[in-house]
A = this chain, B = another copy of it.
Protein backbone atom coordinates (compact mmCIF):
# COMPACT_ATOMS: atom_id res chain seq x y z
CA UNK A 1 0.00 0.00 0.00
CA UNK A 2 1.09 3.54 -0.58
CA UNK A 3 2.32 5.65 2.25
CA UNK A 4 0.87 9.15 2.35
CA UNK A 5 3.39 11.86 1.69
CA UNK A 6 2.50 12.91 5.24
CA UNK A 7 3.05 16.52 4.30
CA UNK A 8 -0.29 17.76 5.49
CA UNK A 9 -2.64 16.02 3.17
CA UNK A 10 -5.05 15.54 5.99
CA UNK A 11 -8.26 17.31 5.18
CA UNK A 12 -9.75 16.98 8.66
CA UNK A 13 -6.65 18.36 10.29
CA UNK A 14 -6.56 21.26 7.89
CA UNK A 15 -10.21 22.05 8.46
CA UNK A 16 -9.77 22.10 12.20
CA UNK A 17 -6.74 24.36 11.90
CA UNK A 18 -8.74 26.76 9.77
CA UNK A 19 -11.65 26.69 12.19
CA UNK A 20 -9.41 27.34 15.19
CA UNK A 21 -7.82 30.38 13.61
CA UNK A 22 -11.12 31.65 12.23
CA UNK A 23 -12.77 31.33 15.63
CA UNK A 24 -10.05 33.38 17.25
CA UNK A 25 -10.17 36.12 14.64
CA UNK A 26 -13.97 36.31 14.30
CA UNK A 27 -14.23 36.46 18.08
CA UNK A 28 -11.77 39.34 18.19
CA UNK A 29 -12.98 41.42 15.26
CA UNK A 30 -16.35 40.16 14.13
CA UNK A 31 -17.37 38.89 10.73
CA UNK A 32 -16.83 42.08 8.74
CA UNK A 33 -13.60 42.85 10.55
CA UNK A 34 -11.84 39.72 9.31
CA UNK A 35 -10.94 38.82 5.75
CA UNK A 36 -10.39 35.36 4.38
CA UNK A 37 -6.90 36.57 3.60
CA UNK A 38 -6.34 37.23 7.34
CA UNK A 39 -7.40 33.70 8.17
CA UNK A 40 -5.25 32.35 5.36
CA UNK A 41 -2.15 34.15 6.57
CA UNK A 42 -2.69 33.35 10.25
CA UNK A 43 -3.27 29.67 9.56
CA UNK A 44 -0.76 29.16 6.76
CA UNK A 45 -3.48 27.70 4.56
CA UNK A 46 -4.12 29.19 1.16
CA UNK A 47 -7.24 31.25 0.55
CA UNK A 48 -8.52 28.95 -2.10
CA UNK A 49 -8.24 25.94 0.15
CA UNK A 50 -10.41 27.70 2.70
CA UNK A 51 -13.00 28.25 0.02
CA UNK A 52 -12.61 24.68 -1.11
CA UNK A 53 -13.38 23.34 2.36
CA UNK A 54 -16.09 25.73 3.46
CA UNK A 55 -17.56 27.20 0.30
CA UNK A 56 -17.66 30.81 1.41
CA UNK A 57 -16.59 33.13 4.17
CA UNK A 58 -20.13 33.21 5.50
CA UNK A 59 -20.43 29.43 5.60
CA UNK A 60 -17.12 29.25 7.47
CA UNK A 61 -18.45 31.77 9.98
CA UNK A 62 -21.60 29.72 10.53
CA UNK A 63 -19.52 26.61 11.09
CA UNK A 64 -17.31 28.46 13.58
CA UNK A 65 -20.35 29.51 15.56
CA UNK A 66 -21.98 26.10 15.39
CA UNK A 67 -18.86 24.39 16.66
CA UNK A 68 -18.31 26.94 19.41
CA UNK A 69 -21.86 26.62 20.73
CA UNK A 70 -21.58 22.86 20.71
CA UNK A 71 -18.35 22.97 22.67
CA UNK A 72 -19.84 25.49 25.06
CA UNK A 73 -22.80 23.27 25.75
CA UNK A 74 -20.61 20.25 26.41
CA UNK A 75 -18.37 22.17 28.78
CA UNK A 76 -21.36 23.68 30.59
CA UNK A 77 -22.98 20.29 30.91
CA UNK A 78 -19.79 18.82 32.37
CA UNK A 79 -19.35 21.68 34.80
CA UNK A 80 -22.93 21.76 36.04
CA UNK A 81 -23.00 18.02 36.63
CA UNK A 82 -20.67 18.72 39.53
CA UNK A 83 -23.10 21.09 41.22
CA UNK A 84 -24.29 19.80 44.53
CA UNK A 85 -27.99 20.19 44.94
CA UNK A 86 -30.52 22.00 47.04
CA UNK A 87 -30.62 24.06 49.10
CA UNK A 88 -27.67 25.99 47.68
CA UNK A 89 -28.58 25.70 44.05
CA UNK A 90 -28.93 29.45 43.48
CA UNK A 91 -25.65 30.39 45.07
CA UNK A 92 -23.84 27.65 43.21
CA UNK A 93 -25.66 28.39 40.00
CA UNK A 94 -24.63 32.02 40.10
CA UNK A 95 -21.02 31.22 40.93
CA UNK A 96 -20.75 28.52 38.32
CA UNK A 97 -22.24 30.69 35.63
CA UNK A 98 -20.16 33.71 36.60
CA UNK A 99 -16.76 32.01 36.39
CA UNK A 100 -17.84 29.97 33.41
CA UNK A 101 -18.51 33.15 31.44
CA UNK A 102 -15.12 34.52 32.42
CA UNK A 103 -13.46 31.33 31.25
CA UNK A 104 -15.24 31.31 27.91
CA UNK A 105 -14.72 34.81 26.59
CA UNK A 106 -14.22 33.67 23.04
CA UNK A 107 -17.68 32.26 22.68
CA UNK A 108 -19.19 35.11 24.69
CA UNK A 109 -17.77 37.55 22.18
CA UNK A 110 -18.89 35.41 19.25
CA UNK A 111 -22.37 35.36 20.69
CA UNK A 112 -22.33 39.11 21.16
CA UNK A 113 -21.18 39.81 17.61
CA UNK A 114 -23.80 37.40 16.34
CA UNK A 115 -26.49 39.18 18.31
CA UNK A 116 -25.53 42.56 16.88
CA UNK A 117 -25.39 41.08 13.42
CA UNK A 118 -29.01 40.01 13.84
CA UNK A 119 -28.30 36.31 14.06
CA UNK A 120 -31.20 34.92 16.07
CA UNK A 121 -31.89 31.55 14.55
CA UNK A 122 -28.98 29.52 15.81
CA UNK A 123 -27.84 28.42 19.27
CA UNK A 124 -28.79 24.76 19.43
CA UNK A 125 -27.20 24.50 22.88
CA UNK A 126 -28.36 27.83 24.20
CA UNK A 127 -31.82 26.78 25.24
CA UNK A 128 -30.51 23.66 26.95
CA UNK A 129 -27.97 25.73 28.87
CA UNK A 130 -30.75 27.94 30.21
CA UNK A 131 -33.13 25.08 30.87
CA UNK A 132 -30.68 23.28 33.10
CA UNK A 133 -30.67 26.08 35.67
CA UNK A 134 -34.35 26.81 35.21
CA UNK A 135 -35.28 23.22 36.04
CA UNK A 136 -33.17 23.23 39.17
CA UNK A 137 -34.84 26.45 40.22
CA UNK A 138 -38.29 25.01 39.64
CA UNK A 139 -37.38 22.01 41.77
CA UNK A 140 -36.15 24.27 44.57
CA UNK A 141 -39.46 26.10 44.40
CA UNK A 142 -41.37 22.87 44.79
CA UNK A 143 -39.28 22.11 47.85
CA UNK A 144 -40.17 25.49 49.30
CA UNK A 145 -36.61 26.80 49.30
CA UNK A 146 -37.34 29.53 46.78
CA UNK A 147 -40.38 31.76 46.53
CA UNK A 148 -42.68 30.34 43.92
CA UNK A 149 -44.06 33.56 42.51
CA UNK A 150 -41.05 33.92 40.22
CA UNK A 151 -40.76 32.39 36.78
CA UNK A 152 -37.69 30.11 36.79
CA UNK A 153 -36.70 31.21 33.30
CA UNK A 154 -36.89 34.87 34.28
CA UNK A 155 -34.60 34.24 37.21
CA UNK A 156 -32.20 32.32 35.01
CA UNK A 157 -32.11 35.24 32.61
CA UNK A 158 -31.32 37.64 35.41
CA UNK A 159 -28.45 35.46 36.60
CA UNK A 160 -27.16 35.26 33.07
CA UNK A 161 -27.54 39.02 32.67
CA UNK A 162 -25.55 39.81 35.79
CA UNK A 163 -22.67 37.61 34.66
CA UNK A 164 -22.64 38.43 30.94
CA UNK A 165 -22.83 42.14 31.46
CA UNK A 166 -19.96 42.19 33.91
CA UNK A 167 -17.56 40.31 31.69
CA UNK A 168 -18.71 42.11 28.58
CA UNK A 169 -18.13 45.60 29.94
CA UNK A 170 -15.53 44.71 32.56
CA UNK A 171 -12.81 46.97 31.12
CA UNK A 172 -15.15 49.93 31.42
CA UNK A 173 -16.77 48.95 34.69
CA UNK A 174 -13.61 48.52 36.74
CA UNK A 175 -12.82 52.14 35.94
CA UNK A 176 -15.79 53.11 38.08
CA UNK A 177 -13.83 51.84 41.08
CA UNK A 178 -10.63 53.74 40.40
CA UNK A 179 -9.18 55.24 43.51
CA UNK A 180 -10.62 52.57 45.77
CA UNK A 181 -7.28 50.76 45.80
CA UNK A 182 -8.81 47.45 44.77
CA UNK A 183 -7.35 45.31 42.03
CA UNK A 184 -9.52 44.22 39.12
CA UNK A 185 -9.48 40.66 40.43
CA UNK A 186 -10.71 41.78 43.82
CA UNK A 187 -13.51 43.73 42.18
CA UNK A 188 -14.50 40.64 40.20
CA UNK A 189 -14.97 38.74 43.47
CA UNK A 190 -16.74 41.58 45.19
CA UNK A 191 -19.18 41.96 42.34
CA UNK A 192 -19.97 38.26 42.51
CA UNK A 193 -20.53 38.45 46.26
CA UNK A 194 -22.76 41.48 45.86
CA UNK A 195 -25.00 40.06 43.15
CA UNK A 196 -25.30 36.82 45.10
CA UNK A 197 -26.33 38.71 48.20
CA UNK A 198 -28.87 40.81 46.30
CA UNK A 199 -30.40 37.99 44.31
CA UNK A 200 -30.74 35.86 47.41
CA UNK A 201 -31.93 38.47 49.87
CA UNK A 202 -32.86 41.66 48.03
CA UNK A 203 -31.80 45.18 48.86
CA UNK A 204 -34.51 46.44 51.20
CA UNK A 205 -34.11 46.64 54.91
CA UNK A 206 -36.80 45.47 57.34
CA UNK A 207 -37.93 43.00 54.71
CA UNK A 208 -40.38 40.45 56.03
CA UNK A 209 -41.32 38.02 53.39
CA UNK A 210 -43.64 35.07 53.59
CA UNK A 211 -43.26 31.91 51.61
CA UNK A 212 -45.07 31.97 48.31
CA UNK A 213 -46.53 35.37 48.96
CA UNK A 214 -48.80 36.64 46.26
CA UNK A 215 -49.14 40.21 47.46
CA UNK A 216 -48.18 42.91 45.02
CA UNK A 217 -45.27 45.04 46.06
CA UNK A 218 -46.35 48.57 46.97
Query: Do A154 and B194 touch across chains, with their CB atoms under 8 A apart?
Result: yes
| A112 contacts B by Cβ under 8 Å | yes
Q: Which residues on the B side are within 8 Å of A157 (C-beta)?
A: 165-166, 173, 176, 191
Interface size class of A (residues with CB under 8 A): 35 or more
Residue in B116, B147, B197 whose CB lies within 8 Å of A30: B116
| A162 contacts B by Cβ under 8 Å | yes
Residue in B29, B30, B200 whose CB lies within 8 Å of A217: B200
A interface: dominant SS: helix
A162-B161, A217-B197 known; A208 and B208 CB under 8 Å? yes
Residue in B117, B151, B172, B209 whose CB lies within 8 Å of A115: B172
A191 to chain B, nearest CB (A): 6
A91-B218, A199-B198 known; A158 and B162 CB under 8 Å? yes
Query: Do A176 and B32 touch across chains, with their CB atoms under 8 A apart?
Result: no
A123-B172, A168-B115 known; A144 and B205 CB under 8 Å? yes
Some 15 contacts from A to B, beta carbons below 8 A apart, are A29-B117, A30-B30, A32-B32, A115-B172, A120-B171, A120-B172, A126-B172, A144-B205, A151-B190, A154-B194, A161-B161, A161-B162, A161-B164, A200-B202, A200-B203
